[in-house]
Amino acid sequence: MHPLLFHLGAILIPSYGATAALGVLLALFMAQRTARIVGLDPTKIWNLCVLALFAALLCSRLLLVALNWSALSLHHSWLLALAMVHHPLLAAIGALAAALATLFYARWQRLPLRATADALAAPLALGLAFEQLGALLAGSGYGTETTVRWAVTYSHTLAALWSGAPLGVALHPVQAYAALGYFALLICLLLWLPSHRQQGDLFGLFLLGAAVIVFITEFWRDPEGRGSLFGGALDGPQAAAVLMVLVGGLLLLECNAAKIEAEE
């Protein structure tokens, strides 16, 4: 595939970063539209998204620096390559930081949490779809070996250097599977958005859909660096998916209970 989009002299523009950045921009603009639909101030939602994004990037990069400080202190130029490093642990820390920043800003601006979550559901699905397309180009989160006709084979040395992808080996394009799943989820959320009845139900649906996508696609991802739980029955992302199902299910049950109570 193509981990390097292009370069300007000594400056390298990675495909992963460019594709993910495009997804972020599109998600930010979509959030303006979804905010209006759920009755929120689009400006506040824009500020919330920017703050959450900054928190995610800052915390994940600081963790990466802390974990590799001994090597970075000897090779300062390696700091420039940190943006090319992708790992499930970094993604988890970034997501947690973004969630905390979102909660803080929503409380500060007195935004209703469930309505805010509903406004962010579809943009999150869009951003995740583009992130997986970027991962496909870069070789990040690569799949297991396969003989299917639609397999991908990485040959660029930067795919191995930046993402650890094996070169010259036919792999499941699991990132494409995930991207298709997120695009399908996006369509469902956009169709449901104008007619949703209870605050929080749209975000509950997003959590359930994203959890299913993560859990299933993990079966085709290489297990390197993804952790192992319960004797190998689950890896780290699958355990997180189970938690997302529980939270999403509880959220939908509460929304349904509130709907029944309002009708009575």
pLDDT digits (tens, 9 = 90+) for 167-195: 999 999 999 999 999 999 999 999 988 87
pLDDT band at 123, cuts 50/70/90? Answer: very high
H/E run at residue 6: strand 4-8
| CA separation for the pair 224, 164 (Å, rounded) | 9
Task: Please name every residue paired with 8 in a beta bridge, in sequence order, or none if there are none.
Answer: 11
Question: What's the pTM?
Answer: 0.86
pLDDT band at 260, cuts 50/70/90? Answer: low
- Phi/psi at 14 (5° precision): -75, 145
Query: Lowest-pLDDT range, 84-93, 134-143, 176-185?
Result: 84-93
Query: Lowest-pLDDT range, 118-122, 192-196, 258-262?
Result: 258-262
CB atoms within 10 A of CB 30: 20
Q: Where along the chain do its domains lie?
A: 4-263
Percent of the chain topping pLDDT 70: 81
Query: Lowest-pLDDT range, 85-94, 125-134, 170-179, 183-192?
Result: 85-94
H/E run at residue 13: strand 11-14
Identity of residue 37: I
- E strands along 60-124, which residues? none
| CA separation for the pair 193, 190 (Å, rounded) | 5
